[in-house]
Amino acid sequence: MTNFKAPWFMGHDALQSVVAPPPGGSIEELPWVDGSLNVLDFDPSLPWVKQLVMGLNSVFGSLGFTTANLAPGRRVTCLVYLQDASVNLTLPGQWTFVGVPTPTTADPPFHFLLSLISFGTTDADVVGTWVQASF
């Protein structure tokens, strides 16, 4: 991976290499709508790396996710960047998280990496990780 630098990772090469798409890949910007569910689309024709960035001085109280186009072997990774407001998380209750309980809140000024793999066609078949990093 050579010339890929997302703006929120300038100077953070260790995390950059974790979330960067493969060569020739791209990142899909997801709109952040307070109180709505953001669709994480597992369609293999779409970028598998997603990004949600909450702007400065924004007042957001909740962030939720739902899924589309689940199938065995498909994956999605989403970077969530909170700049100045805490949020309550709404995640499908059927998702299984590895190493952590299902996250319920997120606080700034952190980056959060949500990585999901589908082992079937329903939310019950989704296994994920939720990692927090501060820099």
Residue 76 lies in a domain: yes
Which one-letter amino acid corresponds to residue 61? G
The CATH code of the domain that includes 112 is 2.60.120
Q: Above pLDDT 70, what percent of the chain?
A: 70
Average pLDDT taken over every residue of the chain: 76
Question: Domain range for residue 106?
Answer: 28-134
Residue 132: what pLDDT?
83
Q: What is the pTM of this model?
A: 0.75
75 pLDDT tier (thresholds 50, 70, 90): very high
32 or 113: which leads in pLDDT: 113
Residue 33: what pLDDT?
62
Give 9's DSSP letter. Answer: G
Widest CA span in the chain: 40
Backbone φ/ψ region at 56: left (φ over 0), alpha (ψ -120 to 50), beta: beta
Give yes or no for a contact between 22 and 125, defined as CB atoms under 8 angstroms apart: no
Residue 15 lies in a domain: no
